Amino acid sequence: MIGVFDSGVGGLTVLKALLRELPLESFVYLGDTARLPYGTKSPATVARYALQAAEALTGYDIKCLVVACNTASAVGLPAVSAHIAPVPVIGVIEPGAAAACAASRSGRIAVIATEGTVRGRAYEQAIRRGRPEADVQARAAPLFVALAEEGLAEGPIAEALAHHYLDPLFASSAPAPDTLVLGCTHFPMLVGAIRAAVGPEVCIVDSAETTARRVRETLTAAGLADGGAAGTLRLLATDAPERFARIGARFLERPISPEEVTLIDL
Amino acid sequence: MIGVFDSGVGGLTVLKALLRELPLESFVYLGDTARLPYGTKSPATVARYALQAAEALTGYDIKCLVVACNTASAVGLPAVSAHIAPVPVIGVIEPGAAAACAASRSGRIAVIATEGTVRGRAYEQAIRRGRPEADVQARAAPLFVALAEEGLAEGPIAEALAHHYLDPLFASSAPAPDTLVLGCTHFPMLVGAIRAAVGPEVCIVDSAETTARRVRETLTAAGLADGGAAGTLRLLATDAPERFARIGARFLERPISPEEVTLIDL
C-alpha cells in the first residue's frame, strides 16, 4: 500500500492525482481532522502531529509515504523520513518547486500557501536550490482553505478573494511573475477563480500533479511499482467521518459514504 | 480569578465585554490554539477538550468559569459543570438565547453560528425554553471566522459573504426575523457587514455582552463579586503565542505582546 497523510481533506486532491497516475496501486489515506488546520500551528506542533500520523500509517505495511500537506511537508519531512526509514517519504513541496523552476522563463515565481508554509519559507528555499537567481514572492491565502471546504470555490466571493490575494503579486507596478505555485492542497479547487485573477499567460503549478508523478518515478526507480490488479482505497480520519465524507467527495470528485471512513485515534 | 476558556482568540470578544462589565476582577484566559477550530469537530471531541481546559484553569484557583466558545458551550457545559462543581460555569448560549427571547417582538429569530453549534441545535433549544412558540432559523457561517481572524472583517468581501449567509434568512419571501443572534464569538467583529446585510431594523444580539452581564449577576448573587483594586489579566494559549498576540489584539482592542501569552500544554 501507499500511505497518504494530510491534516484533513485537502490532500484528497493529491490522492486523486495519485489514483490517476497509479491506477494499479492500493492506498491508505489518513486525514487528521481532529487537529486541523495545521497551517496556523507552530512548526514543533505540526512536526509532532506528522510523526504520529506516519507512525499510524506504518501499521498498514506501507511501501511509500506521501505527506500530502504542504505545512507538514515544510516542517516535518526530515523527522518523518528518519522515523520510518527505509520507507521512502515524499512531500509536496519539492516536486512543486522543481516544476516551477522548470516552467518559469523569467525566474519570477509567485507562491500562495498557508501561513505556516509561507512563514517557514520552504518553497523559497526549494526553488532557490533549483534556480539560485529566482525572484520568489510568497503570500499566505488562508481564506482559500475555508472557501474550498465550504463549496464556494467558484463565483463572485472566490473571485474577489483571488484578486485580494493575487493582485499585490501580479497587478503591481513591478514585473509580474510568470509562474504561480499553488502551495496548499486545497488551492487546486479554486483554480478557476485564481486563473481569472492572474490572467491566461501565467503558468499555474499544481503540486498534486507533480507529486503524483514524483511518486511514480520513485516507486519505479526502487523496483516497488505494482503491476497487479486494480488497487484498494482505505480512508481514515481522526474525527467527524461524516464531514470528511461530505466535504472530501468534492475534493476526490467521487462520492464517499461515511461508512467508508474509519475513525482512528492518534 | 475568573477563568475564561475558548478554542482560540474568538472568546477575547467575551473577555473584552467582561473587562468592561467587571473592571475590578482578575481574569485568566485560555485559548486552545493547538486544537482550534472546535466548530467542525465532533461533540465528543469538543467535550473532551473542554474538560481538559476546565481542569487546567482550576489550577488558577478560579471562582467562576466562563466557557466563551459557543461550540464548547453547546456540547460541553454539563460535563464541565459537574467536573468543577461547586465553581459556577457560565456558557455563552443561554445568555444569548435569553436576550433574543426578550428582544424579539415577532418571535422570528435567526441564529448564525459555526457548523457544530448549528448541528447541535443548542440555540433553538435554549430559545424555545424561553419562548416555546418561537420560529428559530439557524445557519452556519463558518467563513466569518477565518475572515475575522485575517482582519478582513470590513469591506466588499465581508459584505458579499454577509449577503451570502444572511439573504436566505432575511431576503426570502417568508416574513423576515426581527432578531439575529451572533452565535459565535468571532462574529461581533463583523457586525458592520452583518448590519449592512440585514438592514437597520433587525435587533442584533451579541452574546459577549449578554454573557458578561450574566457573569456579573451570578457573582453578585453568590456573594463572590470583588470590590478590590483593579484586577490582573493572564493569557494562556496551547500553541503559537505570537499568532495569538497578533490576531488577539484585534479582538481585545488593545495591544498584546507575545511575552504576555504563556504557552501551556493540555
**A-to-B residue pairs, Cβ atoms closer than 8 angstroms:** 62
Interface residue A142 vs chain B (CB under 8 A): yes
Across residues B101-114, what is the average pLDDT?
97
With an 8 Å Cβ cutoff, are A240 and B164 in contact?
Answer: no
Residue A239 to residue B145, Cβ atoms within 8 A: no
Q: What is the pLDDT of residues B210-259, one digit of tens each?
A: 999 999 999 999 998 876 667 899 999 999 999 999 999 999 999 999 99
Cβ-Cβ contacts under 8 Å for A223 (sequence gap 6 or more):
none
Active site residues of B: 69, 184
Asked if residue B115 lies in contact with residue B41, where contact means CB atoms within 8 angstroms, the answer is: no
Amino acid A62: pLDDT: 96
Q: pLDDT tier at A89 (50, 70, 90 boundaries)?
A: very high
For chain A, give the mean pLDDT.
Answer: 94
Is residue A101 annotated as part of the catalytic site, yes or no?
Answer: no
Tens-digit pLDDT profile for residues B60-97:
999 999 999 999 999 999 999 999 999 999 999 999 99
Tens digit of pLDDT for each residue in A191-219? 999 999 999 999 999 989 999 999 999 99
pLDDT computed for residue B228 by the predictor: 67
Interchain CB distance below 8 Å, A239 and B115: no
> From the CA of B157, how many Å to the nearest CA of chain A?
7
Whether A41 and chain B come into contact, CB under 8 Å, resolves to yes
- Tell me the mean pLDDT in the region A94-117: 95
Q: Which of A40, A41, A160 sits opposite B157 (nearest CB)?
A: A160
Substitution target in A41, A242, A264 with the highest count of B β-carbons within 10 Å is A41
Residues of chain B found within 8 Å of residue A41, distances taken between Cβ atoms: 33-34, 239-240
Residue that has been written with the C-alpha cell 485568566 in this structure: B28
* Residue A65, SS3 per DSSP: strand
H or E, element range at A27? strand A27-31
CA distance B38 to chain A (A): 9
Give chain B's mean pLDDT: 94
Rounded Cα distance, A40 and A20, in Å: 31
Test mutation, B52, B118, B143, chain A, max A CBs within 10 A: B143
Give me the percent of chain A exceeding a pLDDT of 90.
87
Query: Which residue has better confidence, B231 or A187?
Result: A187
Identified catalytic residue from A64, A69, A101, A203? A69
B58 and A CB contact within 8 Å:
no
Q: Residue A228: its pLDDT value, please? A: 67
Chain B hits for A36, CB-CB cut-off 8 Å, are 40
Structural domains of chain A, with CATH: 2-91+209-263 (3.40.50.1860), 93-207 (3.40.50.1860)
Q: What is the ipTM of this complex?
A: 0.78
* Pick among B7, B35, B36, B42 to test the A interface (most A CBs inside 10 A): B42
- Rounded to 5 degrees, what are φ and ψ at A121? 55, 30
pTM: 0.86
pLDDT for B37 equals: 84
CB contact under 8 A, A243 and B164: no
| Secondary structure in 3-state letters for chain B | CEEEEECCCCCHHHHHHHHHHCCCCCEEEEECCCCCCCCCCCHHHHHHHHHHHHHHHHCCCCCEEEECCHHHHHHHHHHHHHHHCCCCEEECHHHHHHHHHHHCCCCEEEEEECHHHHHCCHHHHHHHHHCCCCEEEEEECCHHHHHHHCCCCCCHHHHHHHHHHHHHHHCCCCCCCCEEEEECCCHHHHHHHHHHHHCCCCEEEEHHHHHHHHHHHHHHHCCCCCCCCCCCEEEEECCCHHHHHHHHHHHHCCCCCHHHEEECCC
Q: Is B7 on the interface with A (CB under 8 A)?
A: no
Q: Is A129 left (phi over 0), alpha (psi -120 to 50) or beta?
A: alpha
Is B142's Cβ below 8 Å from some Cβ in A?
Answer: yes
In this complex, do B240 and A164 lie within 8 Å of one another by their Cβ atoms? no
Taking contacts as CB-CB distances below 8 angstroms, the residues of chain A near B35 are 34-35
pLDDT at position A227 is: 63
The per-residue pLDDT for B227 is: 63
Residue A5 in this model has a pLDDT that exceeds 90:
yes
Partners of residue A153 in chain B, C-beta under 8 Å:
none
Residue-wise pLDDT for B171-185, tens only, equals: 887 899 999 999 999
- Model confidence at A39, pLDDT cuts 50, 70, 90, reads confident
